[in-house]
Structure 1
Amino acid sequence: MNYLIIKEIKQMLTDRIALFTILLTPLLLILILGFSLAGWFGSNTSTEGISIGIIQEVDLADEASEVADTLQIPQEQLIEMAIPDSLFAYVENEMTIDYVNDVDQALQDGYDVVVDIPAGYRTKMWEQQIVGESSLTEEFTMYHEGSMEALMVDTMISQFMERLYVNSTLIQAGEESMPELGQIQLQGEEPLSSFEYYTYGMSVMYVFFSAGYMASLAYSEKKARVYARLVLANIKPLQYLAVKTIATMGVVVVQLVLLFSICLTLFQVSVANWLGFIAIALSLSLAVAGVTALLIAIQFRFETEKLANVFMMFVVSIFAFIGGSFFRVSDMAPILAEIGRYTPNGRALQAFIQASQGETLSTLSSSILLLSGMALVFFLLAWTIFISKGGAVK
C-alpha cells in the first residue's frame, strides 16, 4: 500500500498547474476580498490622522437645549444621542474633528471630508429615535475629493447610518440588534477583520475543489487502464479507494497549512485556541476525503467523468454561498445561514472563527463530531457503491 501512496504523490506532482491552482488560488481571493471589503468588516486599516470638517447651521448644545423640554430628555443625553455627532465623538481619538462655519472655506482648508448638517436634522433624528414618529425630508451632505481617506470616512458614515436604521427596525420588532459598526463576532470577544474572515471562508471553500481534483485524477486512471492493471496486480478495489482518500487528506492538510501559515504572517491572523483549531482542520480534511471517496465511487459506478466537473463548478459554489464563504449570509438571509451551518464548509467556517476567538474544545466538539459524522456517512456510501461493482474493470 505504501507504493500506492508514493504513486499518488508522483502523479499529483506531474500536474503542477492544477496543484498550484488549488493551493494558491484561495490566497489570491483572500487578498482581493480582504482589501475590497475591508470597510464592511471593520478591518484593522488605520483611520488615524484623517480630518473631518463639520458644518452646522445650529450649534449642537443650543439645539439640544431647545429640544430637551419638548422631548422631556436631559440635554446631556440628547447630545450623546445626536446623529451624526455621536459617531464623530466615537472616533475623535483617531480622527481630527472640527466644527467650522463655511463649506467653501472648509474645502480650501484641506479636510479629507466635509459634512454639512442642515438645520433641524438633529431634531428630526431625536424625534425619530425617541418618539418614532418623525420622518426625514433631507439628509446631511458629505463633500470629499475621492481620496482613500475620504472613501474610508464615507464608508464608515454610510455603515453607521445603515445600521442605525436597521437596529431601529429590529428593536421596534422586539429582536436583537446587529453587532457594532464594522464588527463581526460569533462567540468570542474580539471582532474579525475582513482578512481573517476570508482566510477561513476561502479555505473551507477551496479544500472541496481538492475533492473534485482527486476524483478527476481517479477517473483519468480508469480511462488510461491504470486501475485495471492495479486490479490485475491483486490490489483490492477498497485499497485503491482508501489510498485516494488518504491522498486527499494529505492535499487538504498541506493546503490548510500553507494558507494559514501565509495568512498568519501577512495578515496578522491570530488563533486563540490552537488545539481546537487543529481538531477542526483534521475533521474537515476527513469530510473532504469522504466527499472524494463518494465522487470516485459514483463516477466508477456510472462510468462518467462529468460528476467531478459538475461538483467543482456548481456544488462547491452553491455550498460556499450558503455556508458564508463569500459574505455573511446571516446579515441578509438568516434562514440560509441556518441551513449553511449544516453544510461541511459552513460548519467548518463557523468552528474556525470560534476557535480563533478562543472558544473551548467542549464548545467546538459539536462541530468536530458533525464533520466527522459527515465523513463517516460519505465513506460508508462510497464503500457501498464501490463494492457493488466488485472492482469490475471495463
Structure 2
Amino acid sequence: MLLTLIGKQMKMLLRNKQPLIILLVMPVVLITILSTALAGVMNSGGEPAIQAKLVIIDESNWQQEEASISSFLKEQGISGPALNAFKNNDPIYILENSILASKDVNKYITLEKQPASELESIRKEKDIDGILVVPADFRLNYIKAAYFDDNQSPNIDLFLSQENEIRASIIQSIIDQWQNGFSKSLALAKAGISPDEVMQSNQHVEKIEQILEEGERKIPASIYYTVGMLVMFALYIPSFLSGFALQEVQWKVYDRILLAGVSATKYALSIFATGTLVAIMQQIIILLFGKFVLRIDWMGLEAMAIIVLSYSLFIGGLAALLTTLQFRTKSDGAANIFNGLVVSVFSFLGGSFFNIGDVSSLLANIGNFTPNGAAMTAILFIQKGQRLDVIWPYMTALYVALILCVLLAIVLFPKRGVTS
C-alpha cells in the first residue's frame, strides 16, 4: 500500500507542469545564466561588490621626524647607513605602499590621505568608512619601543563608521593584521633579535586570503551555482507535495484513503518517502547536467552520495512537516509563507545567491546551520578536494533539522480524518 501511495503522489507531480518547470527547468536555466555571467568575477577575481573607503591622517611624516630620530639614534651610538634601515621599515610607509597598495587589498579598500585640520569635517562624511590618525612622533616612539626597550608603546587612532558596519569591518580586519605584524616584530626585537632581522621579516607581506592545501582546487562559478541552485530548488519540493495532499483533503480523497484501511501514519510516511525520492531524482538530474553540459568534474562521489541522500531525507521530513501544518490549518498558508519567505531567507543565508562569507562571517556561520547551507558547504568542501571527514559537522546540522521535522510531523499529524 505504501508503494501505491508513493506512486499516486509521483503521478500527481508528473501530471502538473508547474512543479516540473520550477524543480527542473528553472534551476538548469539559472545555473547556465549565473555560471556564465559571473564566471569572470568568480574565476578571475573581478571587481568586488563591496569597497570600503579609508582616510589616513598623518600628523607627521618621516621627513619631519628624521631630525629627532637621527638625534636619538646618535645618542644610542647608531648613525650613518643604519638610519636608512629604520626608514625603510617605517610602519606607516609599509601600510600605505605594501599592504593597502597590493592588488589583493586595494580592490576592497580605497585609500585617501588628508591633513589633520580636516579630521572633524571628514568624520561627518557618510561615505567615509574608516579614519586612521597617526599622531606626531609616532615613528620615533615606535623605534624607541621596538628596538630600545622603551615601555611606552606608540598609539594610533582608528575611527570606524557606525552606519557602514560591513565596510568598516573590512578596514578593521586589515588594520588588525598590520598591527599584529608589528606587535610580533616588537616582541622579537625585545627578545634580542637584531633590528635588521626584524625589518627583513616585515618587508615580506603575505596575501591575506585562503591558501589552498595541496590537492585542493578553486571553486569556479559553474560548480558554485550548480550546487547553490541544487540545494535551493530542492526546498520547493515540500510545498508541492503538501499542496497535493491538501487538495486530496478538499476533494475528500484523503478521507476515502483512511476508510480504505490506510493509517494516517502510513500516509505521512508516503509523503516523507516521496519527498526523499523526488529530491534524489532532482539532484541527480542537476548534477548530471553539470557534468555533461557544463563539463564539471565532480570529485568525491562517495561523499557526494552521502550528502545528497542526507539532504534528500531532510527534504522528505520537511515535506511531511509542511503537510502536517497544512492539515492542521486546513489552508495552503503554511506553504505560501514557506515559499515566499523561508526559502528566500534560507537561500540567502546558505549562500545560493552569492558567497555570504564575503559580506559577513557571522551570517556565513549562521548560514552553515541552515540545512541547505550545511549541504552546500559540505559539497563545496568536497569539490575543493578535501577529505570525507570534513563534512560531518555539517551533516550533524542537517540530521538535527531532519529529526526535528520528523518528530514535529509525528506529534502534530492528525490521526483521524481532516475536515475541510
Does structure 2 conserve the Cα–Cα contact (< 8 Å) formed by 1:43 and 1:195?
A: no
Paired residues for 1:176-195 under 5 Å: 178-179=208-209, 189-195=216-222
Determine the structure 2 residue equivalent to 1:156: none
Paired residues for 1:1-394 under 5 Å: 1=1, 2-42=3-43, 71-72=87-88, 168-169=174-175, 171-172=177-178, 174=180, 178-179=208-209, 189-387=216-414, 389-394=415-420
Measured at CA, do residues 237 and 174 of structure 1 come closer, stay the same or move farther in structure 2, by a change above 3 Å? farther
Question: CA shift at 1:336, angstroms?
Answer: 1.1
2:223 counterpart letter in structure 1? E
Per-residue CA distance 1:196-227 (angstroms, 9 max, x = gap):
11111111111001111111111111111111
Question: CA shift at 1:346, angstroms?
Answer: 0.6
Question: CA shift at 1:251, angstroms?
Answer: 1.1
Question: CA shift at 1:367, angstroms?
Answer: 2.2
Residue 42 of structure 1 aligns to a residue whose secondary structure is helix
Does structure 1 conserve the Cα–Cα contact (< 8 Å) formed by 2:31 and 2:225?
A: yes
Question: CA shift at 1:14, angstroms?
Answer: 0.9
Per-residue CA distance 1:308-351 (angstroms, 9 max, x = gap):
12101110000111111111111111111111111001101100
Per-residue CA distance 1:217-270 (angstroms, 9 max, x = gap):
111111111111111111111111111111111111111011111112222323
Question: CA shift at 1:374, angstroms?
Answer: 1.7
Unaligned runs of 5+ in 2: 47-83, 105-132, 135-169, 182-205
2:400 counterpart letter in structure 1? G
Question: CA shift at 1:305, angstroms?
Answer: 1.2
Question: CA shift at 1:178, angstroms?
Answer: 4.5
Does structure 1 conserve the Cα–Cα contact (< 8 Å) formed by 2:369 and 2:394?
A: no
1:390 counterpart letter in structure 2? R
Measured at CA, do residues 83 and 323 of structure 1 come closer, stay the same or move farther in structure 2, by a change above 3 Å? closer
Does structure 1 conserve the Cα–Cα contact (< 8 Å) formed by 2:271 and 2:320?
A: yes
Does structure 2 conserve the Cα–Cα contact (< 8 Å) formed by 1:171 and 1:177?
A: no
The share of aligned pairs that are identical, in percent, is 29
Paired residues, number:
295
Q: Distance in 2 between matches of 1:345 and 1:167?
A: 29
Residue 189 of structure 1 aligns to a residue whose secondary structure is coil
Q: Distance in 1 between matches of 2:267 and 2:29?
A: 34
2:387 counterpart letter in structure 1? T
Residue 359 of structure 1 aligns to a residue whose secondary structure is coil
Determine the structure 2 residue equivalent to 1:97: none
The CA RMSD over aligned residues, in Å, is 3.6
Q: Which stretch shows the higher mean deviation, 228-237 or 263-272?
A: 263-272
Per-residue CA distance 1:279-319 (angstroms, 9 max, x = gap):
00000001111111111001101212121121011100001
Question: CA shift at 1:87, angstroms?
Answer: 6.2
Q: Which stretch shows the higher mean deviation, 357-366 or 21-30?
A: 357-366
Does structure 2 conserve the Cα–Cα contact (< 8 Å) formed by 1:249 and 1:289?
A: yes
Q: Distance in 2 between matches of 1:321 and 1:210?
A: 18
Per-residue CA distance 1:85-143 (angstroms, 9 max, x = gap):
9869xxxxxxxxxxxxxxxxxxxxxxxxxxxxxxxxxxxxxxxxxxx97xxxxxxxxxx
Measured at CA, do residues 345 and 230 of structure 1 come closer, stay the same or move farther in structure 2, by a change above 3 Å? same
Residue 227 of structure 1 aligns to a residue whose secondary structure is helix
TM-score by length of 1: 0.66
Measured at CA, do residues 84 and 304 of structure 1 come closer, stay the same or move farther in structure 2, by a change above 3 Å? closer
Measured at CA, do residues 263 and 382 of structure 1 come closer, stay the same or move farther in structure 2, by a change above 3 Å? same
1:5 counterpart letter in structure 2? I
1:212 counterpart letter in structure 2? S
Question: CA shift at 1:39, angstroms?
Answer: 2.7
Does structure 2 conserve the Cα–Cα contact (< 8 Å) formed by 1:188 and 1:354?
A: no
Does structure 1 conserve the Cα–Cα contact (< 8 Å) formed by 2:246 and 2:326?
A: yes
